[in-house]
A = this chain, B = another copy of it.
Amino acid sequence: MINKKKTLLNEIKEILKSKGIKPSYQRIMVYNYIKNHINHPSVDTIFKAISGSIPTLSKTTIYNILNLFAKKGIVDTLTIDKNEVRYDFIKKAHAHFMCKICGEIYDIHLKSDVCLKDFVEGHKVEDTHVDFKGVCKECL
């Protein structure tokens, strides 16, 4: 059990190193959290979730780490919610649905033609976001 966890953290350590990121304990913990929480957490959510295991943790560190991860292509920065940025561990391209009632952001797996474009009307595309808003199936 403990060995398994140790192995996992070592795996993350290697992944971070391979991306040119020095694997500090805080970075490993953030990586581990976002990898296992696909519900698009905010900085505050992540902070509350892991500050228990890192008593001295500062919220600024979470901001620093997520900005770094975004620059290195580890997370996507979602701006669907105008109140706060939400983060998404990058796997493969997918769309999102945000509920106007409960605020939950769901993954939507649809194969859209728009996700493949490198250029649109002369502009060079780096990120593509397909965002739906409305009332989720739970709130309906």
Q: Which A residues have a C-beta under 8 Å from some C-beta of B?
A: 77, 79-82, 85, 95, 97, 99-100, 106, 108-110, 112-114, 117, 120-137, 140
Contacts and interface: CB of A to CB of B under 8 A. Distances in A.
Closest 7 CB pairs of A and B: A122-B137, A126-B134, A127-B133, A129-B131, A79-B82, A125-B134, A124-B135
Given A79-B82, A132-B128, A136-B123, A112 B113 contact: yes
Majority secondary structure, A binding face: strand
A131 to B, nearest CB: 4
B132 A106 contact: no
Copies in the complex: 2
Given A79-B79, A82-B79, A112-B114, A132 B125 contact: yes
Nearest to A129: B131
A69 to B, nearest CB: 16
Given A129-B130, A130-B129, A95 B114 contact: yes
